[in-house]
Amino acid sequence: MSVARESLVVMKFGGTSLEDAKAMERTAAIVASRRKKGLDAAVVVSAMAKVTDQLLAAAAAAGRGDKAGALALSSRLRHRHIDTATDLLTGEHAAGLHPAVHAEFDALDDLLRGIAAVGELTARTNDLVVSFGERLSSRMVAAAFAQRGLEGAHVDARSCIVTDANYGKAAPLEPAIEAKLREIVLPLIEAKKTAVMGGFIGATTEGITTTLGRGGSDYTAALVGGGLHAGAIEIWTDVNGIMTTDPRICPDALRVKTISFEEAAELAYFGAKVLHPATILPAVQKNIPVWVLNSRNAENEGTQITAVAPRCKSPFKSIAAKKKLTIIDIVASRMLMSHGYMKAVFDVFDKYKCVIDMVSTSEVSISLSVDSNQRLPEICEDLSKIADVKMEGNKALICMVGEDIRGHNGIAGQVFSAISHVNVRMISQGASEINMSFMIEEEDVEEAVRSLHKHFFADPDEAIFDVEARVQVESKA
């Protein structure tokens, strides 16, 4: 077991922290502030804001045989990257980067032409197309750092982040990653360089490009932090930290000052986009503190994610919502719940690698909630061989997270009376001691979250929540 590198901070910047040259300047200033403190930095970057969506659209267009559509999207992206590089760099740094950006886009265009010619888009090729986002942003950020005296050194993430071949949601192979990080990234850090690599992307042991799933750059940061035994991991985004709920739904959401790994993981899994669900694990295993910080407001303290949950007067620390879910009701009409029935049901979901979010059972029926996905008709057809099946889409899950739920009597009563006007379809409490979740109609999400937030965060515990943030919002209104 190797020793922690206390002086190493792994800093991850999301797409919104890299949306244009100005945002990249802010990113460079934040990294410079860490270097000035005598810290070593390894930087993980997402693609520029919205680029991943546009690359996916280009891949899909090519897959439909729409070559012109795919190339038009790629051309727009090329201009955006070249314009940003022009604003960001001068002299030899600009001269070095421009041809590299053009070469990447030439390769992307060739790839899109190939996909359009075949008229078929495989998961493997989709990963290759989407990887260009992080490949480009990491090169640009490394060049920007080099020009600003930060000793930026670009690392192709695919040389370090070794994964299995589950395209679209590849699983990292941690021992192999740790070995590669030591071989490739550590010497750069020891030479006082700022290593910059793209998040989200990796490669199989055979070198085939993969991705870790949407939002996966957070995961890369945790893998790099864990693999190099960093002293801290900083996730830089566009909000002041983990908030009491998504500030886009509830503008008076408060910053949570400290939250436990377990609580943060639960929130991420149940829809809080601020962190990728798997991020926390590599950091927890090595006990590395994680901070969520705002690149537009770098002075703010952000949220610290710690091993042990801070005790708090409020039963909940945050409310997450996950949309685009489907409820499947499976009723055992032909045979009552006999031995092996549950297994038969779950085997069907297993066959399609479909993740179940919530389950509730009665004597003859099982209700399950799953992400709405294209395999659902096939899943239902298989299930209908053993039971009567009904599927209902446009559902959402609300998840209330807090270490102190267990200490509060009558909490379920409070939750459901706060949203008594909303139709609740399924409830789960106690499966995890730190969350209480329920399913509602998608269209009721905003209203339900606001009502719950109003009820549970009206009188916040100042030790845990940033109450001043609310005063500012109120005085602005």
Q: SS3 for 309?
A: coil
277 contacts Mg ion (rule: CB under 5 A): no
Among 63, 216, 282, 460, binds ligand ASP (CB under 6 A): 216
Q: Based on CB atoms, which residue is closest to ligand ADP, 8 or 274?
A: 274
199 contacts ligand ASP (rule: CB under 6 A): yes
β-pair type (258-260, 201-203): unpaired
CA–CA gap between residue 100 and residue 117 (Å, rounded)? 26
Q: Based on CB atoms, which residue is closest to ligand ADP, 219 or 349?
A: 219
Among 8, 10, 11, 14, binds ligand ASP (CB under 6 A): 14
When CB distances are held under 5 to 8 angstroms depending on the partner's kind, the choice from Mg ion, ligand ASP, ligand ADP, none that residue 402 binds is none
Q: Based on CB atoms, which residue is closest to Mg ion, 200 or 349?
A: 200
In the complex, minimum distance from the CB of residue 235 to ligand ADP, in angstroms, rounded to a whole number: 7
Q: Based on CB atoms, which residue is closest to ligand ADP, 253 or 389?
A: 253
38 residue type, one letter: G
Q: Assign residue 154 a region (left: φ > 0; alpha: ψ between -120 and 50; beta: otherwise).
A: beta
When CB distances are held under 5 to 8 angstroms depending on the partner's kind, the choice from Mg ion, ligand ADP, ligand ASP, none that residue 214 binds is ligand ASP
Q: Name which of residues 10 to 39 contact Mg ion (CB under 5 A).
A: 14
- Total of residues contacting ligand ASP (CB under 6 A): 13
Residues 6+ apart with CB under 8 A from 155: 138, 184, 185, 188, 195, 196, 197
47 contacts ligand ASP (rule: CB under 6 A): yes
Residue 357 · residue 370 · CB < 8 Å: yes
Segment interacting with Mg ion, rule: CB under 5 A, options 81-89, 142-150, 215-223, 446-454: 215-223
46 contacts ligand ASP (rule: CB under 6 A): yes
> Dihedral of the CA atoms 371, 374, 379, 380 (nearest 10)?
90
Nearest CA among 359, 298, 411 for reference residue 29? 298
Among 10, 70, 105, 133, binds ligand ASP (CB under 6 A): 133
262 residue type, one letter: E
Segment interacting with ligand ASP, rule: CB under 6 A, options 174-182, 208-216, 251-259, 400-408: 208-216
CA–CA gap between residue 355 and residue 371 (Å, rounded)? 7
Nearest CA among 112, 312, 323, 130 for reference residue 210? 130
Segment interacting with ligand ASP, rule: CB under 6 A, options 44-52, 244-252, 254-262, 445-453: 44-52
In the complex, minimum distance from the CB of residue 202 to ligand ADP, in angstroms, rounded to a whole number: 18
> CB-based burial of residue 324 (10 Å sphere; 0-12 exposed, 13-18 middle, 19+ buried)?
middle
CA–CA gap between residue 11 and residue 13 (Å, rounded)? 7
Residue ranges binding ligand ADP (CB under 6 A) = 14-17, 46, 215, 237-239, 242-243, 245-248, 272-274, 318
**Residues facing 465 on adjacent strands:** 256
Sheet with 5-13, side-by-side order of all strands? 152-155, 194-198, 40-45, 5-13, 230-237, 290-294, 303-306, 258-260
Q: Based on CB atoms, which residue is closest to Mg ion, 127 or 444?
A: 127
214 contacts ligand ASP (rule: CB under 6 A): yes
**Residues facing 162 on adjacent strands:** 203
172 contacts ligand ASP (rule: CB under 6 A): no
When CB distances are held under 5 to 8 angstroms depending on the partner's kind, the choice from ligand ASP, Mg ion, ligand ADP, none that residue 405 binds is none
Which structure tokens are listed for 265? 């993981």
Residue 295 · residue 34 · CB < 8 Å: no
CA–CA gap between residue 47 and residue 14 (Å, rounded)? 8
Q: Name which of residues 51 to 110 contact ligand ASP (CB under 6 A).
A: 52
Nearest CA among 234, 199, 189 for reference residue 5? 189
Q: SS3 for 189?
A: helix
215 contacts Mg ion (rule: CB under 5 A): yes
Q: Based on CB atoms, which residue is closest to Mg ion, 215 or 302?
A: 215
When CB distances are held under 5 to 8 angstroms depending on the partner's kind, the choice from ligand ADP, Mg ion, ligand ASP, none that residue 243 binds is ligand ADP
Residue 211 · residue 200 · CB < 8 Å: yes
Segment interacting with Mg ion, rule: CB under 5 A, options 68-76, 212-220, 360-368, 436-444: 212-220
271 contacts ligand ASP (rule: CB under 6 A): no
Q: Based on CB atoms, which residue is closest to ligand ASP, 200 or 457?
A: 200
In the complex, minimum distance from the CB of residue 247 to ligand ADP, in angstroms, rounded to a whole number: 6
Q: Based on CB atoms, which residue is closest to ligand ADP, 314 or 365?
A: 314
Integer-rounded Cα Rg, in Å, for the chain is 24
In the complex, minimum distance from the CB of residue 135 to ligand ASP, in angstroms, rounded to a whole number: 11
The residues that touch ligand ASP, with contacts defined as CB under 6 A, are 14-15, 46-47, 52, 133, 199-200, 214-218
The residues that touch Mg ion, with contacts defined as CB under 5 A, are 14, 215
